[in-house]
Amino acid sequence: MTLEEIRNKYRINKDLHTHTRYSRTGPYLHATGTIMENVEAAVKCGLDEVAITDHGPKEIYGLDPKKLPDMRRDIAEAQKKYPDIKIHLGVEANLMDSPNGLDISPEDIKDYDFINAGYHYGVPKCGMIANWITFKLPSPRGWKEKMKKKNTEIALRALYNNKIKILTHPGDKAYFDIEELARACEETGTLIEINARHKRPNVEDLKIMAKYAVNFIISSDAHKPSQVGRYVRSIGLALAAGIEIGRIVNVVERQQI
Ligand SMILES: [Zn+2]
Ligand SMILES: [Zn+2]
Q: Report the pLDDT averaged over residues 153-160.
A: 98
pLDDT at 140: 76
| CA of residue 253 to ligand 2 center, whole Å | 26
Closest ligand to the CA of 171: 1
| CA of residue 51 to ligand 2 center, whole Å | 11
Identify how many contiguous H helices and E strands the chain contains and give both numbers.
8, 11
User: Domain holding 180: CATH number?
Assistant: 3.20.20.140
Q: Report the pLDDT averaged over residues 141-157.
A: 94
| CA of residue 83 to ligand 2 center, whole Å | 25
Summarised one tens digit per residue, pLDDT across range 179-191 is 999 999 999 999 9
| CA of residue 137 to ligand 2 center, whole Å | 24
What confidence category does residue 257 fall into, taking pLDDT thresholds of 50, 70 and 90?
Answer: low
| CA of residue 204 to ligand 2 center, whole Å | 21
For residue 155, is pLDDT > 80? yes
What type of residue is 128?
M
Summarised one tens digit per residue, pLDDT across range 20-71 is 999 999 889 999 999 999 999 999 999 999 999 999 999 999 999 999 999 9
Q: Which residues of 224-245 are buried (b: 16+ CB within 10 A; e: fewer)?
A: bbebbbbbbebbbbbbebebee
Q: 160 lies in which domain range? A: 3-253
User: 46: phi > 0 → left, psi -120 to 50 → alpha, else beta; which?
Assistant: left
Closest ligand to the CA of 30: 2
For residue 226, is pLDDT > 70? yes
Q: For the chain, what is the mean pLDDT?
A: 96
| CA of residue 255 to ligand 1 center, whole Å | 32
Percent of the chain scoring above 70 in pLDDT = 99
- Cα radius of gyration rounded to whole Å, the chain: 18
Q: Do the strands 251-253 and 191-195 form a parallel or antiparallel pair, or are they unpaired?
A: unpaired
> What residues are neighbours of ligand 2 (ion), with CB under 5 Å?
92, 221
pLDDT at 123: 95
For the residues of 1-67, what is the DSSP string, one character each? --HHHHHHHEEESEEEEE--TTSEETTEESS---HHHHHHHHHHTT-SEEEEEEEPTTSTT---GGG
Summarised one tens digit per residue, pLDDT across range 196-210 is 999 999 999 999 999
Summarised one tens digit per residue, pLDDT across range 90-121 is 999 999 999 999 999 999 999 999 999 999 99
- CA–CA gap between residue 79 and residue 63 (Å, rounded): 21
pLDDT at 142: 87
Number of domains in the chain: 1
